[in-house]
C-alpha cells in the first residue's frame, strides 16, 4: 500500500471560505504568488482566469479546487507542506478574497525525512 502525502492542505476555516467564494463565483483555482505586488500569497481566481504556463506545477487540490505554483518557486518550497489558512485582512489585488475583509494566508511546515522519501515516489505534474 502506497501512502500519499499532500503537498498542500487547508484549515477548516479556509475550506469554508473557499466554499463561500465558490458559491459566489463558480469553480475556482489557486496560484501561489511568488512575490512582487502581493508578496508570497495564495491567490484565488475563477477557474481559467489565471493563465498557467508550461512551467507551472500542480500541487494538489483543496476541496476540489486545484492549486498551482511556478516550477522555479517550487524548487525552494519542495520540502515544505503548504497549509492554506484564512485570516482577517485584505486579499491580493487580483485575488477573489480581496474586498471580503478576509484573506488567504500560506503557512508551512517542513516535511519529515520519511515524507520526503515518499514524495520522491509521487510524480509531480506540470500543469
Write the pLDDT tens digit of every residue in 50-99.
999 999 999 999 999 999 999 999 999 999 999 999 999 988 788 999 99
3-state secondary structure of 113: helix
CA gap 97, 92 in Å, rounded: 7
pLDDT at 86: 96
Domain boundaries, the chain: 8-122
pLDDT at 36: 57
- pLDDT of 37 above 60: no
Per the prediction, the chain carries an average pLDDT of 90
- pLDDT of 127 above 70: no
pLDDT at 21: 97
CATH no., domain 8-122: 2.60.300
CA gap 13, 100 in Å, rounded: 14
pLDDT at 2: 60
Q: Confidence band (pLDDT; 50, 70, 90) for 34?
A: confident
DSSP-assigned letters across all residues of 89-112: S---TTSTTTTTTEEEEEEEEEPP
Q: Confidence band (pLDDT; 50, 70, 90) for 15?
A: very high
Q: The pTM is what?
A: 0.91
CA gap 30, 12 in Å, rounded: 17
Amino acid at each position: 500500500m502506497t501512502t500519499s502525502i499532500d503537498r498542500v492542505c487547508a484549515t477548516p476555516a479556509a475550506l469554508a471560505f473557499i466554499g463561500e467564494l465558490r458559491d459566489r463565483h463558480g469553480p475556482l483555482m489557486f496560484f501561489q504568488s511568488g512575490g512582487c505586488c502581493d508578496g508570497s500569497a495564495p491567490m484565488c481566481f475563477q477557474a481559467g482566469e489565471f493563465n498557467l504556463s508550461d512551467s507551472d506545477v500542480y500541487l494538489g487540490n483543496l476541496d476540489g479546487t486545484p492549486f498551482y505554483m511556478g516550477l522555479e518557486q517550487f524548487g525552494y518550497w519542495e520540502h515544505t507542506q503548504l497549509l492554506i489558512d484564512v485570516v482577517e485582512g485584505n486579499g491580493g489585488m487580483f485575488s477573489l478574497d480581496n474586498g471580503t475583509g478576509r484573506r488567504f494566508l500560506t503557512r508551512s511546515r517542513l516535511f519529515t525525512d520519511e515524507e520526503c522519501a515518499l514524495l520522491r515516489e509521487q510524480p509531480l505534474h506540470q500543469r
